[in-house]
Structure formats: structure tokens, C-alpha cells
Amino acid sequence: MKRKLIVNAGTALLLDEQSDALTAYGSITINGGRVVISRKVHEKMSAINASINSGGMSIIDIAGEVTELESGTAITAKSAFCGCYIICDGKLIIEDLEGLAGITGLYADRIFHPESVSLGAVKGITASRRIAYPDGAKLHLSGLTLGGETPAAQEGRLNWVNGNITALDGGELEKLREKEASFQCRKLIIRTSLFEKYADMFKAESITFVPDDHAYMKDLTLDAATQVLYGDKLFVNGDLMIDHDQAQHLGGLNSLIVEGTVTMPISAAASFKACGKARGYDLYEGVLKAINGADSIDHEQLKSAIDRGIRYTLRINGKLTFTSDVTAQDVEAIAAIECNGLLVAPSSARGALDSKIKSMNGKIKNLSEDEKDSTIDEDDSDVTKINTGTYRL
């Protein structure tokens, strides 16, 4: 039997139709968040035992030499790619169409170009998004924080930002005003008093105002050190996590603003409401146990929880196995189950466990069935597994 190839990747670039992988394996499985595949490779993989599971797939016709460019590369008038097919697994900047003269085609995740550069005149361009920015502007491909060594401090220059701008440093804003710098972005995050003074420097699709007397942070996990480090008024421009044994620290806060989601036990809801507000709430019962990957729970763990008066909310992204000694009575230690993946349990406890399932995207199997399949699932002697951010064929 020929070997199996299993690839788990954020991005899979399948471009080489001559690759030995297409003939060396009896079966090929590609699991990717995004797959870019040449038409010739797609045809060959369709003819063999191959499976592609992807959130998005682009099939492209490739001719000539394949040239891969790093994300953030700029195409200028001096670029020379005649006879090449350009691949950019990320953000590509096209400043001048002369740099694309003679190419056979182009694929990029995102293409940025000045408003005066019309990509419609170039055939064979494939991109998930094409984004135009004002001519003469300094382009920033990601968010920008104005403070310290700001890379945007050119005199009289418009800075176009593909993302958010964080402007909390009044001294830095005054320096930038003296240099006549201006900014355009999707979202501006700024203190209320600073916006009143420097509003003319910014053009933004949306604005988030940070109160002057609040400490600013992105994500936060509440604990005993939070108030000591940041004070009793907090602005969280992200998500807040409150563990079941840390909720008492809400009592020391006077104001808590959460722009994202606060995850907390149901028992902490009243304390949070007394001092805070959030855009979203994720409430759980008892103790939150998150499993990303594979784990197992046995009788002693559940019995100990019951003895201590603990109930678990289980969030599974992967596989969770309840061992053969787990009983229906043990399941009383579980408040709720949310599973994306595989849940395995002895048949004697299945009824009790089923009643705890709040959401299920995947499969539930009896433990005996899993044991029968384990020789197939866990024997990797004829399987090549590749787990990577980007996979190239």
C-alpha cells in the first residue's frame, strides 16, 4: 500500500505539477484555510485519490517561470519580471505598471495600488482584494501607533493606514502637527481631549474614544495585580477574560469599558454590571476548561470535582476522550459541553453526557468504537503528516 500524505496548513500553495508528491503517495489530503492551486496540479489531483478541504480555493492558470515575492514587496518601474508568473502569498504593492511588463500572470492575496494606477489594463491578475490608496500618500500595510519612534513623521505627508491608528500620546501628536503630517485610516483610537485638539489631522471611517482618566490596554486577563498596575479605571480595546477564581477583583474597579467580549462565569455577571460594560458577553457556568488539541478525563478527576463542589464547562477544539472508568454519576461534575471536533465516551455514560452538550460541530463516538478504529487512526507508519503555516508544493 502506498503511503498517505496529510497536510494541515494555514495556506497551501500547490503549483508544481512535476512534484513527486503527486505520484509517491496513494492518497493526499490537504486541509488549508486558503488553497492556491494551478490548474494542472488540480487536474492531476482530481485524477488520483486526493482530497482538498479549504475555506477558500483559487485555481490559477500558470505559464512561464514562477516567481514568488514576499509579502510587502513593491512593484516599481524598475522591476523586471518579463516571462514570469508572479505569486505573492500576502500583500503586494503595485506602484507602476511598467514593472509588470511581459508577465504571464499574477496572483496575490491583496494588492495595494495608487488611485491613478489602473489594474484593469493588465490581464491575468488574480487577487482576493484590490485596494486603492491616494496618490502621493505614504502607505502603511498594517496598523500604526503614534508615539515614540513614529515611522510616519514626514513633513507635509498624508499617511494612509490599512488598519487602525492608536493615538494616545499628546506630545507625539504635537510633533506630527508641526511637521504637517496627516492620517487616513479605517479606525482611529484616541483619547477624548486629544481628538478635540487634533481632529483636523485625521480622517477615519470610525472613531473609538478613550476617556482621559482610563488606563488603556488591548486584551486583559483580570487578576490580583490588575488594579495595582493599572488603577481602578480601565479601557480594554479587545477582550477581557475573568477566570472563576478571579471574579472578586471586580470589586476594586470603579469603571471598566471593554470594546470586545468579556468571558466570565455567570456568578460574576452582577459584579461586572456594577462597574463595567462590554460590546459582547460570553458567560459560562462553573469552571471553564478549554481543550485545543487532544486530552482525556478520567473518573478520579470528575469525582474530585464533585467532592470540591466544582462543575466544569468544557470547550473542545479537537478531541476529548472520557476514559472507560467514567460513570453517569461522574458526569454531574460537568455543567456544559461545547465541542468542535471529536468527543469519545463509554456507552454507559453517553446518555448523561448527551444531556450536557450545548453545541456540537463534529462527531460523538462510543469508546469501544474508537478502540476498534485506533489501530487505523493512530498508526502513522504509512502516513506523512505536515503541520505548517504555509505549505508549498
pLDDT of residue 151: 61
Return d(Cα 221, Cα 206) in angstroms, integer. 26
User: Does residue 146 carry a pLDDT above 70?
Assistant: yes
Average pLDDT over residues 279-284: 92
User: Does residue 278 carry a pLDDT above 80?
Assistant: yes
Of all residues in the chain, what percent carry a pLDDT higher than 70?
93
Assign 90 to helix, strand or coil. strand
Q: How confident is the model at residue 372 (pLDDT cuts 50, 70, 90)?
A: very low
- N-term to C-term CA, the chain: 23
pLDDT of residue 203: 95
Can you read off the three cell numbers belonging to residue 87? 505569486
pLDDT of residue 149: 62
Return d(Cα 15, Cα 17) in angstroms, integer. 6
User: Does residue 232 carry a pLDDT above 90?
Assistant: yes
Can you read off the three cell numbers belonging to residue 184? 487616513
Can you read off the three cell numbers belonging to residue 91? 500583500
User: Does residue 272 carry a pLDDT above 50?
Assistant: yes
The whole-model pTM stands at: 0.71
Return d(Cα 83, Cα 48) in angstroms, integer. 31
Return d(Cα 70, Cα 84) in angstroms, integer. 15
Q: What is the pLDDT of residues 152-198, one digit of tens each?
A: 556 678 999 999 999 999 999 998 999 899 999 999 999 999 999 99
Instruction: Annotate 344-354 with b (16+ C-beta within 10 A) or e (fewer).
Output: bbbeebbebbe
Can you read off the three cell numbers belonging to residue 127? 487577487
Number of H helices, E strands in the chain: 9, 26
Report the alpha-carbon angle 236-241-243, nearest 5.
145
pLDDT of residue 385: 76
Return d(Cα 365, Cα 385) in angstroms, integer. 24
pLDDT of residue 105: 86
- What Cα–Cα distance (Å) separates residue 77 from each residue in 92, 95, 99, 370, 386? 15, 8, 5, 61, 39
Q: Backbone phi, then psi, for 177, in 5-degree steps?
A: -65, -40
Q: What is the pLDDT of residues 341-355, one digit of tens each?
A: 889 999 888 888 889
Return d(Cα 24, Cα 270) in angstroms, integer. 61
Nearest-Å Rg of the Cα atoms of the chain is 27
Q: Which residue has the higher pLDDT, 376 or 81?
A: 81
- What Cα–Cα distance (Å) separates residue 296 from each residue in 243, 310, 383? 22, 18, 24
Question: To 10 degrees, the CA torsion angle through 105, 108, 113, 115?
Answer: 80
Q: What is the pLDDT of residues 190-231, one digit of tens each?
A: 999 999 999 999 999 999 999 999 999 999 999 999 999 999
- Segment (H or E) for 41: helix 39-47
Mean pLDDT for the chain overall: 86
Q: How confident is the model at residue 373 (pLDDT cuts 50, 70, 90)?
A: very low
Return d(Cα 201, Cα 12) in angstroms, integer. 41
Q: How confident is the model at residue 17 (pLDDT cuts 50, 70, 90)?
A: confident
Q: Is the dihedral of CA 255, 259, 265, 266 positive or negative?
A: positive
